[in-house]
């Protein structure tokens, strides 16, 4: 029994924070919306699944190993990545998805009164972790769908510890090129930790796209995030990591909990890392289907924001949350963007042609009904 009002035990920043509500399991959603099949285009998952070698490892994972604790520091994977990138294995820290390493970094560098700087329309987890840990987030409005370097520098103050840059940005797909990134890092001049979230780096083939792991040779305050959830199709196994200079990682390591990466994930990743064919096949699928989607959406007269990454954004002449529900009844799950501060926009993950066609068909239908039937009432 709690003998004081529970709120007396709860910090003010927790009281005002609203818990994230994850979506229900597919089977429940299908019942709820009455659809018999569901195309998942809401989470940027790889439509090809994990690389074949990783699939084989998952199939053959010895059940008895489920009773053993996995390597606590993801030993073999760190060594493998170190030789692939020409780094020291101690420059890597793994988490239960890159989502978890966000918390490691914030815990390592922020104390009461500190803040972080990031964009207003980007991956929300940086902001959430900072807020529920009691730190302020300076949210800098994006400009032309991209992180605004000048405004971000202005938002930095004496208590800013970390700057988060999502490159390419989820959900807008824009990126800072090498020149812009290095100019920014020069001006930060090592006063803050700069996290470059490269969750989608394997999808970018532009020659001027910067590699955070290379940048940290010259800028030891850079920390790069990578994940096996997107390009490597292992989102369900939850494995992601950060890379930094020895000095920075030695600090962050103090805040991470061991054993958060399970054994199946570690084994599967060992087989996935070198599969460059899988990367090439995925890129080809994403490039082709993104171009298709872009064409079809524009043909519907819609504003599209399609750039890097395995997703595009579309602006609808109706509420995005209403569109979500209407698309669900037609077996297509997208991401409504009100939560990303993009009301009336949706984000659609790139999938196989069948899924893209199903989405376009469902969208055309719901736009017909809402648009023509009630024009004048439904736009933003
Ligand atoms: C998906 C994603 C991540 C992390 O994904 P995990 O599944 O937790 O590894 C991190 N950053 C961005 C921008 C993402 O889209």
Which ligand 1 atom is nearest residue 170's CA? Answer: 13
Which of 117-126, 170-179, 220-229, 363-372 has the weakest average pLDDT? 363-372
Q: Which pLDDT band, with edges at 50, 70 and 90, does 369 fall under?
A: low
Residues above pLDDT 70, as percent of the chain: 97
Q: Torsion angle of alpha carbons 65, 71, 72, 73, nearest 10°?
A: -150
Over 90: is that where the pLDDT of 251 sits?
yes
Which pLDDT score, from 0 to 100, does residue 376 have?
41
* CA dist., res. 262 & res. 96, Å (int): 8
CA 290 to centroid of ligand 1, rounded, Å: 20
Q: How far is the CA of 238 from the centre of ligand 1 (A)?
A: 10
* Assigned token pair, 264: 């199946």
From atom 6 of ligand 1, which residue's Cα is the shortest distance away? 97
The pLDDT value recorded for residue 257 is 84
Phi, psi angle pair for 120, to nearest 5°: -75, -25
Pick the CATH number of 53-60+68-272 from 3.40.920.10, 3.40.50.2300, 3.40.640.10, 3.40.50.300: 3.40.640.10
Domain boundaries, the chain: 6-49+277-372, 53-60+68-272
Residue 377: pLDDT band by 50, 70, 90 thresholds?
Answer: very low
Residue 41 has pLDDT above 50, yes or no: yes
For ligand 1, atom 4, the nearest C-alpha belongs to 98
How far is the centre of ligand 1, averaged over its atoms, from the C-alpha of 128 (Å)?
Answer: 14
In this prediction, residues 357-361 reach a mean pLDDT of 98
The fraction of the chain above a pLDDT of 90, given in percent, is 93
Distance CA 269, CA 263 (A): 10
Q: Which CATH architecture has domain 6-49+277-372?
A: Alpha-Beta Complex (3.90)
Q: Give the model confidence (pLDDT) of 280-326 as tens digits.
A: 999 999 999 999 999 999 999 999 999 999 999 999 999 999 999 99
Q: Is the peptide bond before 171 cis (omega within 30 degrees of 0)?
A: yes
Please provide the average confidence, as pLDDT, over all residues in the chain.
95
How would you label 330-357 residue by residue, b for 16+ Cβ within 10 Å and e otherwise? bbbbbbbbeebebebbbbbbbbeeebbe
Q: Which of 38, 43, 101 is nearest to 230 (CA)?
A: 43
Q: Give the binding-site residues of ligand 1, using a 6 Å CB cut-off.
A: 97-99, 123, 166, 170, 197, 199, 227, 229-230, 235, 240
Residue in 92, 123, 198, 224 to alter for ligand 1 test, most ligand atoms within 8 A of Cβ = 123
pLDDT, tens digit, 9 for 90 and up, residues 139-170: 999 999 999 999 999 999 999 999 999 999 99
Nearest-atom index, ligand 1, CA of 228: 9
* pLDDT attached to residue 2: 73
pLDDT higher than threshold 90 for residue 49 = yes
Q: Report the pLDDT averaged over residues 33-54.
A: 97
Convert the pLDDT of each residue in 59-77 to its tens digit: 999 999 999 999 999 999 9
Question: What local confidence, expressed as pLDDT, does residue 24 receive?
Answer: 94
Distance 250 CA to ligand 1 centre (A): 23
């Amino acid at each position: 029994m709690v003998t004081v009002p529970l709120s007396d035990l709860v910090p003010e920043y927790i009281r005002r924070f609203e818990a994230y509500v994850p979506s229900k399991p597919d089977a429940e959603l299908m019942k709820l919306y009455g659809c018999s099949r569901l195309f998942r285009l809401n989470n940027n998952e790889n439509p090809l699944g994990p690389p074949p070698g990783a699939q084989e490892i998952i199939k053959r994972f010895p059940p008895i190993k489920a009773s053993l604790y996995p390597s606590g520091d993801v030993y073999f994977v760190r060594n493998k990545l170190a030789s692939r990138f020409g780094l020291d294995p101690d420059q890597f820290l793994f988490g239960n998805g890159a989502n978890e390493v966000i918390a490691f970094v914030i815990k390592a560098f922020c104390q009461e009164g500190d803040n972080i700087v990031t964009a207003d329309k980007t991956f929300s987890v940086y902001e959430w972790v900072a807020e529920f840990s009691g730190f302020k987030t300076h949210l800098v409005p994006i400009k032309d769908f991209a992180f605004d370097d000048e405004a971000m520098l202005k938002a930095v103050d004496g208590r800013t510890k970390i700057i988060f840059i999502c490159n390419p940005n989820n959900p807008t797909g824009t990126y800072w090129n090498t020149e812009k990134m290095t100019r920014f890092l020069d001006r930060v001049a090592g006063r803050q930790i700069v996290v470059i979230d490269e969750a989608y780096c394997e999808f970018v083939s532009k020659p001027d796209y910067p590699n955070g792991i290379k940048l940290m040779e010259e800028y030891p305050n850079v920390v790069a995030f990578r994940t096996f959830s997107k390009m490597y199709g292992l989102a369900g196994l939850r494995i992601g990591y950060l890379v930094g200079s020895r000095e920075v990682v030695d600090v962050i390591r103090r805040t991470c909990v061991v054993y958060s990466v399970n054994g199946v994930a570690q084994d599967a990743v060992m087989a996935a890392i070198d599969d460059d064919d899988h990367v090439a096949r995925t890129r080809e699928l994403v490039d082709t289907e993104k171009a298709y989607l872009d064409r079809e959406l524009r043909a519907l007269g819609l504003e599209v924001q399609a750039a890097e990454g395995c997703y595009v954004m579309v602006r609808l002449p109706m509420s995005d949350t209403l569109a979500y529900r209407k698309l669900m009844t037609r077996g297509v799950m997208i991401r409504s963007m009100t939560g990303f501060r993009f009301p009336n926009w949706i984000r659609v993950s790139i999938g196989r042609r069948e899924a893209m066609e199903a989405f376009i068909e469902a969208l055309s239908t719901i736009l017909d009904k809402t648009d023509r039937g009630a024009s004048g009432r439904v736009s933003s």
